Structure 1
């Protein structure tokens, strides 16, 4: 195995553990509540606390990769993820579990931006599509296996094992990373502490406001916007020391890829909540039946992602991205019609299969074009910014969907119609962004 493919294998091992843990928790929630107590709000923050801690530090983590070597930051995050997973598995109360899940989210944030930087370093421009395609296939596999593994561990052992199983898996990933991932000396720029404080405070308040839409979150959102505007002004004058290379948005490739990826992240997560609610509450599906109805999403993505990546290497990213984002819009339209018109609910599986094809076609070209727009010395910051936009978009999609469903709870037909209308509009915006991508990623001048 060549060093670049060995390095990719090591990165995929850690990424698989991270995503597996993201989806493994939901199925064990009733057992967690029965064992540790707590109300529904506390159970919500077991997931929301992780999401908050994962979303906020991505900018800082990406920049730390530029300064101290993405390999080191990645391995540090993996080790911290193992420790925090063990603490989650030993949590004596729901409050401690929430605290340890926040630590787990911080560790995941340290890991998350580094692989894009490392893949850019490992692979030539005409091989990155294939690498990102394999990346997408592993992501889909982890998403599919998470609830299954979580259900098996919870039923056969105990809910605590959904966290404890991460410890040996992380250990294997760390050993592989030390041996197979190439290192670097890091950069010479200084760390922008004030920018880090402004971005962290602003993103924390923004994500908290999105997740806590039931509470008085408008003042928090206003303060968040003010802090992020201050962060923008701060970054404009920092040059090579900027925490987030906002000048990347001068590149049409990076800007369009970021907008399309935000659309993809927002719609895919926003779709899941109303669809699962509709199938179980309105059509009488059990949890297993509902999961089976949406399973073609992950299955198709696993099968198509490697081929989609090779297509990107041959023809560039624009055509695959346009096809992927168009399939996203069609899949959401189909699922929306099934829900709103009360069609046979098993037609949802066709929409889910199209959604899997959309994920396979869109993920690789958008990632490849975004990172082709970046000077190597700013790759970590660019990856952190790219991941932050995607993650905040996903949080916003889930929050707005929940707000619509709750606000129109007495009129479910109207609620489902508004939700799917909203996410379809976002998907169409993603198609428009993909159309503006450069024809070939090598035509992009790195910023």
Structure 2
């Protein structure tokens, strides 16, 4: 084993280079997460995609990212965080280029699956590099800078993506990752020190293997549920394909629980974590909130372009207030979180020729203000609900839970509101589906608020 590199200081060239690599890499993932919804109408028309094609364009990425993000973090701990981080960057970039070159919907969806795997290798590493590389006195500054600068990339995503879609093509939202990845690789090779978890390396030598079975079973369970929900409108709820998908999902989920129980604390997801009622409740709350957020952004971006008649750039700008409020909002949660659902209904009556300032901004701003009261303290609460040694896996699972919420919402809502085929291109059909979807999203948020009010309590102050 090489000698550990000296701890980095943030005011040195190596410190700034390491921070830049982590920020740019995270920015690529966040950019594609926020901007793909804005591109859906254009790429759908260009590729002749159905509603199911649009759903898989979003969900293919979310599925593999949610299923493998915990495994990606474990690979970095054992084989080297910089090595796995660089592998994730290259993988994500190659998949992005394949997305941009797609000539058919199935090609694009397959590339999005691959992109999610790259994101699962990259996302845990971008933060763990800072945690393991910087001197303790500078670690908080580095992580704070990463959080703020990554947030800026998230905020700029819809604006930059909308401009690229209008000025060039939807394909450029994926090609943009290529020059960013070149900068990340150069910075990482030049400045980022290698690090690994020596405990993980020792357990590997003792024959304790990765929980690959758990990761694959989790992915199969999610894929089965998603396929059944997406395919049901076209084939029917009683079709053999849908029935097989449901059975496969149930069997995979049961086997996943059995495998994780058997592995104990070496599992990808130690089941002992759910002995904490607070941890369990907060993750249910996470799924509900992010399901509403994912469903809202999926329908809202398509509706503003195909019914209201806005450009991709205008649509991106319409979503900007929510992101900005999340960046600068106060990290305090309280009774205001219960008001997210009703405020979301302000956007239900937006129609053709709508005024941004009078009809769109108030609803978007109120939605963002409500989320601000929830998102910031949620991660801290999840981490506080488990022992410190499980902080990494608890944070990773909560991140995966948020992806699963969006995944299930995008899969289920079109079925629930009757949007099928190319209905997203028909004004009347899309309007009815959009208004129904917002009712479902508001309901999910109100259920989450009720669960939080009843089951989440302030822990007793320790002496």
Query: Given the two structures, how large is their TM-score scaled by the length of structure 1?
Result: 0.77
Match of residue 244 from structure 1? 269
1:243 Cα deviation from its structure 2 partner: 1.8
Distance 2:165 2:432 in 1: 37
Pick closer, same or farther for the CA change 1:71–1:253 going to 2, 3 Å. Answer: farther
* Mapped pair 1:106 → 2:117: yes
Aligned residue for 1:183, secondary structure, equals coil
Instruction: Map residues 168-183 of structure 1 onto 2, 5 A cutoff.
Output: 168-177=179-188, 179-180=191-192, 183=195
Distance 2:170 2:286 in 1: 33
Aligned residue for 1:184, secondary structure, equals coil
Match of residue 217 from structure 2? 198
Determine which of 282, 303, 306 is the counterpart of 1:257. Answer: 282
Determine which of 292, 295, 308 is the counterpart of 1:267. Answer: 292
Pick closer, same or farther for the CA change 1:164–1:137 going to 2, 3 Å. Answer: same
Instruction: Map residues 10-89 of structure 1 onto 2, 5 A cutoff.
Output: 10-28=21-39, 32=43, 37-40=47-50, 42=53, 45-89=56-100
Aligned residue for 2:164, secondary structure, equals helix
Which shifted more, 118-127 or 360-369? 118-127
Match of residue 184 from structure 1? 196
Match of residue 164 from structure 1? 175
Instruction: Map residues 219-298 of structure 1 onto 2, 5 A cutoff.
Output: 219-276=244-301, 279=304, 288-298=313-323
Match of residue 446 from structure 2? 428
* Mapped pair 1:335 → 2:344: yes
Which shifted more, 44-53 or 118-127? 118-127
Pick closer, same or farther for the CA change 1:237–1:14 going to 2, 3 Å. Answer: same
For the 8 Å contact 2:71–2:268, the answer to whether it is kept is: yes
1:335 Cα deviation from its structure 2 partner: 3.0
Distance 1:132 1:298 in 2: 19
Pick closer, same or farther for the CA change 1:358–1:136 going to 2, 3 Å. Answer: farther
1:234 Cα deviation from its structure 2 partner: 1.9
Pick closer, same or farther for the CA change 1:260–1:72 going to 2, 3 Å. Answer: farther
Instruction: Map residues 356-375 of structure 1 onto 2, 5 A cutoff.
Output: 356-375=368-387
Distance 1:102 1:244 in 2: 22
For the 8 Å contact 1:12–1:138, the answer to whether it is kept is: yes
Match of residue 314 from structure 1? none
Distance 2:264 2:193 in 1: 29
Match of residue 367 from structure 2? 355
Aligned residue for 2:418, secondary structure, equals helix
For the 8 Å contact 1:77–1:108, the answer to whether it is kept is: yes
Match of residue 227 from structure 2? 208
* Mapped pair 1:383 → 2:381: no
Distance 1:102 1:222 in 2: 22
Instruction: Map residues 139-150 of structure 1 onto 2, 5 A cutoff.
Output: 140-150=151-161
Which shifted more, 152-161 or 421-430? 152-161
Distance 2:111 2:154 in 1: 22
Distance 2:253 2:449 in 1: 27
1:330 Cα deviation from its structure 2 partner: 2.1
Distance 1:418 1:210 in 2: 17
1:226 Cα deviation from its structure 2 partner: 2.3
1:69 Cα deviation from its structure 2 partner: 4.7
Instruction: Map residues 122-141 of structure 1 onto 2, 5 A cutoff.
Output: 138=149, 140-141=151-152
Match of residue 4 from structure 2? none
Q: Kindly provide the CA deviation profile for residues 400-425 of structure 1, in whole angstroms up to 9, marking residues without a partner as x.
A: 32223226998888756653343223
Match of residue 317 from structure 1? none
Distance 1:169 1:117 in 2: 20
Aligned residue for 1:238, secondary structure, equals helix
For the 8 Å contact 2:163–2:312, the answer to whether it is kept is: no
Q: Kindly provide the CA deviation profile for residues 90-146 of structure 1, in whole angstroms up to 9, marking residues without a partner as x.
A: 456554443333221210122234456567768999999998876665555434433
Match of residue 313 from structure 1? none
For the 8 Å contact 1:58–1:384, the answer to whether it is kept is: yes
For the 8 Å contact 1:260–1:366, the answer to whether it is kept is: no
For the 8 Å contact 1:14–1:78, the answer to whether it is kept is: yes
Distance 1:288 1:275 in 2: 14
Distance 2:312 2:381 in 1: 38
For the 8 Å contact 2:37–2:298, the answer to whether it is kept is: no
Pick closer, same or farther for the CA change 1:275–1:86 going to 2, 3 Å. Answer: closer
Determine which of 320, 326, 332 is the counterpart of 1:301. Answer: 326
Pick closer, same or farther for the CA change 1:212–1:201 going to 2, 3 Å. Answer: same
Q: Kindly provide the CA deviation profile for residues 25-73 of structure 1, in whole angstroms up to 9, marking residues without a partner as x.
A: 45555665676x4543556544443333333323433443444454443
1:384 Cα deviation from its structure 2 partner: 3.4
RMSD over aligned CA atoms reads 4.2
Distance 1:98 1:115 in 2: 25
Query: Given the two structures, how large is their TM-score scaled by the length of structure 2?
Result: 0.75
